[in-house]
Structure 1
Amino acid sequence: MTLPLPAALAAGNHRPMAGYVARHVRWSCVDGVATLTLDRPERKNPLSFESYAELRDLFHALRHAPDVHAVVLAGAGDNFCSGGDVHEIIGPLIGLGAPQLLTFTRMTGEVVAAMRACPQPVLAAVDGVCAGAGAILAMASDLRWGTARSKTAFLFNRVGLAGCDMGACALLPRLIGQGRAAELLYTGRTLGGEEGERWGFFNRLVAPEALLAEAQAFARELAAGPTFANGITKTMLHQEWAMTIEQAIEAEAQAQALCMLTGDFERAYRAFVERRRPVFEGN
């Protein structure tokens, strides 16, 4: 029998996020599924210095949020995200020195690092424009639902920057292959929804009017699963990129043994014996 977490340990490491009040994005959480919405639809949901920082801090905080089991990342209106706001970000960056610019680029990269490090699966619901940093947010998610009218563009090259932004040169080739990633990063061209599904960038395409509902429904399935084990799966998917096959096999042996200590593992066995669906509790 697994004992409950001591109150003092829980107080320092469990910080519920369902009631979080966002300032620069929109946030809601129902039954363990959080929906994080980029909410500037009149300008295709661009990011600002403030929203970058809030996203970084929010995803970092999710590492300690036992009440959030899956996250849907979406854009308000008919678009996902047009990238960094030209007037609020790009303009102010002109003329800054290297130390100040590095403060900005490190902050943007920390958003992706925090998305990868949080244990909850992140599902991007991508409709319409998904460009620049918006394409990066979709790329950094664990799963991507798109629409036929999705327009994804890693357009850094078109504004005089390298394609190596926020981890793109590491993450994108692993999603769609080295050659295809190179084409997108060298040219900044738009990847349409159907092509994106063929290339493996999108897991599936959904009708625009059903996109958010279907993404949330799938997230609820994930949230109803063995969430501790799901977090281990996400961790291993990320960490094993830097391992040999032998190292990965041993790491997975240790990870699976840890999952076998959970109540959810026993619950699944009891449900199988009793010929019913298991009800997981995430511990």
Structure 2
Amino acid sequence: MSDLSGLQPRHFLWEVRDRVGTVRLNRPERKNPLTFESYAELGALFRALPAAGDVDVVIFASNGGNFCSGGDVNEIIGPLIGLPMKDLLAFTRLTGELVKAMIHCTKPVIAAVDGVAVGAGAIIAMASDLRLATPEAKCAFLFTRVGLSGADMGACAMLPRIIGQGRAAELLFTGRVMGAEEGRDWGFWNALHVPDRLEEEARALALRLAAGPTFAHGVTKTQLNQEWDMGLDQAIEAEAQAQAICMGTKDFERAYRAFVAKEKPVFEGN
């Protein structure tokens, strides 16, 4: 197992405390846009998480009142103009790799969104497992507003599963802003919190998950993603196998012994 507490990334902020890793983009003066370099470095972080022995949950946090304004106009969008198709495809695959890395990182990811979460910022929130926001949060899948399709970084596959096909189609065709209360009512946001409490609530949720059976949480995350492509019989069999694996862990035994002793179980993630 590796240790990510000493990681010092160049293109975002990262800290590990009490087995919770917190990542935040660090260009608040520009509402935290992404660059070619930050895409690549974020992907590397999430690909490293399965082997990280010191991180059980990740919070993708806001910075300076905003979450992420998407790809930097000057550092990404401008340089893409006129590139040959193979280079354009290399870039779009790079962006998709971040979503894949988040999906397969085996650790619950909580997005804590304040202010702007648009374009790729909306995608990062979408790709998180749990999403908290403030009433001021503005989320938009605005790709059509810059002449692109709404099919970006898995949005056409993932967003309908979260909020429904018709609602997703509207957002992806129009690129309009989804208001915070609207997003909560549609099931995109799990909860809304005032800005002063957003990170406190995200951290409380993260600590609750980190205190749980973290090996089993990883199994839950894997099954939530894999079962999209399964029929019901396949899903039931996959969950039978997954649950049998969890029943072989010490955490399952710890929970039983704590129940018998009328105590609260203390899980250790194995």
TM-score category, normalised to shorter length: over 0.9
Identify unmatched segments of 5+ residues in structure 2.
none
Q: Give SS of 1:220's match.
A: helix
Q: Does 1:223 align with 2:210?
A: yes
Query: Which of 253, 258, 266 matches 1:279?
Result: 266
Query: Which of 131, 137, 144 matches 1:144?
Result: 131
Query: Which of 56, 65, 74 matches 2:52?
Result: 65
Q: Give SS of 1:91's match.
A: helix
Residues 69-97 of structure 1 deviation map (CA, whole Å, 9 limit, x = unaligned): 00000121111100000000000000100
Report the TM-score when normalising by structure 1: 0.95
Q: Does 1:204 align with 2:191?
A: yes
Deviation, 1:16, is 1.6
Matches within 5 A, 1:115-126: 115-126=102-113
Question: How far apart, CA to CA, are the structure 2 residues paired with 1:101 and 1:35?
Answer: 31
Matches within 5 A, 1:1-283: 14-283=1-270
Question: How far apart, CA to CA, are the structure 1 residues paired with 2:22 and 2:155?
Answer: 24
Residues 235-272 of structure 1 deviation map (CA, whole Å, 9 limit, x = unaligned): 00000000000000000000000000000000000110
Residues 215-234 of structure 1 deviation map (CA, whole Å, 9 limit, x = unaligned): 01110110110000000000
Q: Give SS of 2:184's match.
A: helix
Question: How far apart, CA to CA, are the structure 1 residues paired with 2:7 and 2:268?
Answer: 22
Identify unmatched segments of 5+ residues in structure 1.
1-13
Question: How far apart, CA to CA, are the structure 1 residues paired with 2:186 and 2:171?
Answer: 12
Count of paired positions:
270
Question: How far apart, CA to CA, are the structure 1 residues paired with 2:165 and 2:5?
Answer: 38
Question: How far apart, CA to CA, are the structure 2 residues paired with 1:255 and 1:16?
Answer: 27
Structure 1 counterpart of 2:117, one-letter code: C
Question: How far apart, CA to CA, are the structure 1 residues paired with 2:216 and 2:113?
Answer: 27
Q: Give SS of 2:11's match.
A: coil
Structure 2 counterpart of 1:253, one-letter code: A
Deviation, 1:21, is 1.2
% same residue: 66
Question: How far apart, CA to CA, are the structure 1 residues paired with 2:59 and 2:105?
Answer: 13
Report the TM-score when normalising by structure 2: 0.99
CA contact (8 A) 1:39 1:75 kept: no
CA contact (8 A) 1:120 1:231 kept: yes
Deviation, 1:41, is 0.6
Question: How far apart, CA to CA, are the structure 1 residues paired with 2:26 and 2:179?
Answer: 23
Deviation, 1:58, is 0.5
Instruction: Supply the RMSD in Å over aligned alpha carbons.
Output: 0.6
Question: How far apart, CA to CA, are the structure 2 residues paired with 1:16 and 1:263?
Answer: 23
CA contact (8 A) 1:83 1:132 kept: yes
Q: Give SS of 1:276's match.
A: coil
